[in-house]
Amino acid sequence: MCFTYEELPLIDFSAPKVINNRKRENKEMAPQDYAQNKADAKSVLSCANLANGQYLENIIEVAEKYMIETQPHDPQNTKKSIRANLNRSDKVRLPHYTHLMKLNNRLVFQAACCLPLRVLAANLDGKSVYGKTLFKSHSNSGGGKLVYEFLGMGNELIIDLKRGDSSKAQRLTFLILK
């Protein structure tokens, strides 16, 4: 597998927060859900040639997470995303997680969701930062998987992650203190 550097399109990092009015049932994760997420994360890291067990030991948790508008609202895109979610069986729980790992001066971001995933933009200490996709996949049965390595070091990394065809992105702020 060969890797290509992917330049991220710039978006407005001062974009306002979006209020999410959607109510979710069973918001709390059970212990088996945590175990499923960890097993999934390990298997995806091995696909990105990062099977070294110490990666999962160096996880940096999200300090802040919210939604932002990324483009003018297109009702067609929202309908596609809703339809894609409805096609999935509710009995099957797909892994959902986002985390950042720091190891040997490398910042590796990993995410899983039921929808396809894409990094829209990233900002490291106030400056746009670029990286490369190490692994990316999506299937109806396995969901979306993404492993992305950022180039550069700093104290704060902000990532705008797009799920499916949504007109909104999830903005994740990581404080890198290690």
Nearest to 76, CA basis, from 166, 173, 140: 166
**DSSP conformation letters of 85-110:** HHTS-TTSPPP-EEEEEEETTEEEEE
The whole-angstrom separation of Cα 168 and Cα 161 is 9
Rg (CA), the chain: 16
Mean pLDDT calculated for residue range 144-164: 92
What pLDDT is recorded for position 177? 75
The whole-angstrom separation of Cα 85 and Cα 140 is 9
- How high is the mean pLDDT of the chain? 78
Name the pTM for this structure: 0.76
What pLDDT is recorded for position 5? 41
What pLDDT is recorded for position 48? 84
> Quick check: 138 pLDDT over 80?
yes
Q: Which of helix, strand or coil describes residue 67? A: strand
**Most trustworthy range by pLDDT among 70-74, 75-79, 88-92, 129-133:** 129-133
What pLDDT is recorded for position 9? 46
